[in-house]
């Protein structure tokens, strides 16, 4: 399995475990951050309302903004 697929398989596992423990989005965002920091491809996690929950550094660089400027804001 390539690095990208393994990272998101790891995220799915961490997210499933977070949901099973009753954790909210902050737990999922932390799981995503952990899984996505190991990949070189841009990746972001948004909720159902298209609000950024987390992103990796390549995604932030692509938008030329720090993650802190985007997390908690709508995609649009």
In this predicted model, what pLDDT tens digit does every residue of 12-44 receive, in sequence order?
777 677 667 776 656 677 778 877 888 888 999
Q: SS3 for 56?
A: coil
Q: Is the pLDDT of residue 5 over 70?
A: no
Q: SS3 for 61?
A: helix
At 66 the pLDDT is 92
Q: Give me the residues paired with residue 44 across strands.
A: 55
**Inter-residue contact 52 to 75 (CB < 8 Å):** yes
Structure tokens given for 42: 């841009």
Domains of the chain, by residue range, sit at 3-70
Considering the entire predicted model, what is its pTM?
0.68
* Count of positions (residues) in the chain: 76
Q: Is the pLDDT of residue 4 over 60?
A: no
Report residue 10 CA to chain centroid gap: 12
């Amino acid at each position: 399995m390539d690095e990208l697929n393994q990272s998101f398989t790891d995220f799915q596992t961490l997210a499933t475990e977070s949901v099973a423990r009753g954790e909210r989005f902050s737990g999922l965002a932390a799981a995503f951050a952990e899984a996505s920091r190991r990949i070189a491809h841009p990746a972001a996690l948004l909720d159902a309302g298209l609000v950024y929950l987390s992103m990796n550094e390549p995604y932030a660089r692509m938008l030329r903004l720090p993650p802190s400027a985007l997390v908690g804001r709508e995609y649009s």
